[in-house]
């Protein structure tokens, strides 16, 4: 049975030679390092992502949001058991769990620019303060009227 390689943004395709094998690097002896791009095999699918066994023997999770740059409705639409994928190690947790990304392993991947918060509008801030002050005053008046009726 031929292994399949998943390439983001495409359909499944036949696997090619291991790119790390060309370099003469023994992948099986390497431990996963953050930032490393390594091949792996899908060993389990879950609604929230896919578990990938790296050639070093370690298993990590590719979260559903890290499978493709486009929206992924279902993991099964993009990945299948025994698919060979190229992943990037994006993190390692204290408990030994490995976070992986297929999306970031793509050579054309660019990190998203951090979203800037809108500058505070002084006019809006002033209106908000006025509203809050008048609202508090109204609440105090309502409470006084309620207390006066009671007794």
Global pTM reads 0.56
Q: Is pLDDT at 5 greater than 50 in this prediction?
A: yes
- Please give the Cα distance from 77 to 72 (Å, whole number): 8
Q: Is pLDDT at 63 greater than 80 in this prediction?
A: yes
CB 105 within 8 A of CB 94: no
Least confident of 1-5, 66-70, 99-103: 1-5
pLDDT in tens, 112-143: 777 776 667 888 888 999 999 999 999 999 99
Q: What average pLDDT score do residues 15-32 get?
A: 45
Q: Look up tokens 């578990």; give the residue.
A: 51
Cα-to-chain-centroid distance, residue 16: 27
């Amino acid at each position: 049975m031929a292994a399949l390689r998943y390439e983001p943004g495409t359909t499944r395709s036949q696997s090619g030679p291991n790119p790390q094998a060309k370099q003469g690097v023994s992948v099986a002896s390497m431990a996963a390092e953050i930032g490393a791009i390594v091949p792996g095999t899908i060993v389990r699918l879950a609604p929230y992502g896919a578990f990938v066994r790296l050639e070093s023997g370690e298993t990590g999770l590719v979260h559903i949001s890290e499978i493709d740059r486009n929206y992924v409705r279902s993991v099964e639409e993009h990945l299948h058991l025994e698919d060979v994928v190229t992943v990037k190690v994006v993190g390692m947790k204290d408990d030994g769990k490995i976070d992986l990304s297929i999306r970031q392993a793509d050579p054309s991947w660019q990190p998203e620019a951090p979203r800037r918060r809108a500058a505070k509008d002084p006019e809006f801030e002033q209106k908000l303060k006025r509203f809050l002050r008048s609202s508090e005053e109204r609440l105090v008046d309502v409470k006084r009227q309620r207390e006066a009726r009671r007794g």
